[in-house]
Structure 1
Amino acid sequence: MRTRSVCLLLAATGALGACAVMPSGPSVMALPGTNKSFDQFRGDDYNCRQYAFGQIGGTSPQQNANAAAVGSAALGTALGAAAGAAFDGGSGAAVGAGIGLLTGAAVGAGSSYNAGYGSQQRYDAAYVQCMYASGNRVPVYGRMVNTPPPARAAMPPANYQPYYPPPPPPGYVR
């Protein structure tokens, strides 16, 4: 019975940790540059994928997401077991480990999402920079507003005298 419970808890942890599925490459579009053949573009794409992969530490965003999920689940299990043992001895440690595993898995799902998508954003930024530097076109989305520079404030003439109205007479009530 105990082995079955542990297996179910591990399966639940795996299921929660696998919620973040990351793309296996760039999630941005790049187009061949002017006067570039498709073969040249494919070569640039391959080189830029390798460059971006190196920029995020040589691990894929999916690997980063999985590592964060497993790490949180393991930490939750250890803390839960320690808390359970401190409060109720041996049987409390098992219950605490189970609760810690579920809590760690739930927290791990959130940290998995953040780790994976943070890595994906860094990967995409490096890929875009490389493709642009290689002479390819990379559409950038966003609002681009062409605003004129701020107008200079007109200076008053040199002989300008500001008008200050006189103060109201004593005892004046409005």
Structure 2
Amino acid sequence: MKRAVLTLAIISSLASLAACVSAPTGPTIAIMPREGKPFDVFQQEDQQCRDFAANAIKDTSNASLKEGATSAAIGAAIGAAAGAVIQGGSSQNIGTGAGIGLLGGAAMGAMNASGKQNQAQAQYNIAYQQCMYSKGNQVPSYPSQGGGSNYRPPSSGFKPIQ
């Protein structure tokens, strides 16, 4: 009985971790308005680009949310089958096998969903960057539009020994 309670506690903990996966809620990169652009215009563009990026990844984020539940269910089924095979199919072994399978499946599902969530965030950031860049804002690692000949990377302050 103690083992069953412990197994259920572990399973519910992992299942709740798998449920923590969520779609990106905003960019994780800094974009600056170009020189002379009013801040209220920049804020409007920011909102437009957030909407654009959210629509660009809608299918990807839904897939990551389903990943955890699917892996947990498959793990439970495989665990129950393995538990039935071990020790001649006693009901105690089926329950233990299902619990262990659910535990492993939830862990794998959480890892897979986390990877898909990271991928969705990267895609969100790219779509957001592209949108903000197209509106003339300053995007890290890209020279500003029209900056051509005056653009130079910042100096590190290092001077070679002569």
- The TM-score with structure 1 as length reference comes to 0.67
Deviation at 1:83, TM superposition (A): 2.3
**Higher helix share goes to which structure?**
2
Instruction: Give the aligned partner of residue 160 of structure 2.
Output: none
- Work out the CA distance in 1 between the residues paired with 2:120 and 2:24: 11
- Work out the CA distance in 1 between the residues paired with 2:44 and 2:4: 52
1:46 paired to 2:47 = yes
Instruction: Give the aligned partner of residue 79 of structure 2.
Output: 80
For structure 1, the residue ranges without an aligned partner over 5 or more in a row are: 146-174
CA contact 1:64–1:116 (8 Å) conserved in 2 = no
Deviation at 1:32, TM superposition (A): 0.9
Instruction: Give the aligned partner of residue 68 of structure 1.
Output: 67
Q: Which moved more, 1:7-16 or 1:105-114?
A: 7-16
- Work out the CA distance in 2 between the residues paired with 1:121 and 1:104: 26
- Work out the CA distance in 2 between the residues paired with 1:29 and 1:117: 18
- Work out the CA distance in 1 between the residues paired with 2:99 and 2:132: 48
Counterpart secondary structure, 1:25: coil
The RMSD of aligned alpha carbons is 3.0
Instruction: Give the aligned partner of residue 33 of structure 2.
Output: 32
- Work out the CA distance in 1 between the residues paired with 2:34 and 2:28: 19
Q: 1:119 to 1:136 in 2, by over 3 A?
A: same
Q: State the Cα deviation string for residues 46-101 of structure 1 (Å, max 9, x = none).
A: 011111011112675xx655432332222211221122224442222211111101
CA contact 1:9–1:101 (8 Å) conserved in 2 = no
Deviation at 1:25, TM superposition (A): 0.8
Q: How many residues align?
A: 141
Instruction: Give the aligned partner of residue 150 of structure 2.
Output: none
For structure 2, the residue ranges without an aligned partner over 5 or more in a row are: 143-152, 154-162
- Work out the CA distance in 1 between the residues paired with 2:49 and 2:59: 13
CA contact 2:14–2:103 (8 Å) conserved in 1 = yes
Deviation at 1:26, TM superposition (A): 0.3
Identity %: 41
Work out which of the two has the higher radius of gyration on C-alpha atoms and give 1 or 2: 1
- Work out the CA distance in 1 between the residues paired with 2:110 and 2:38: 43
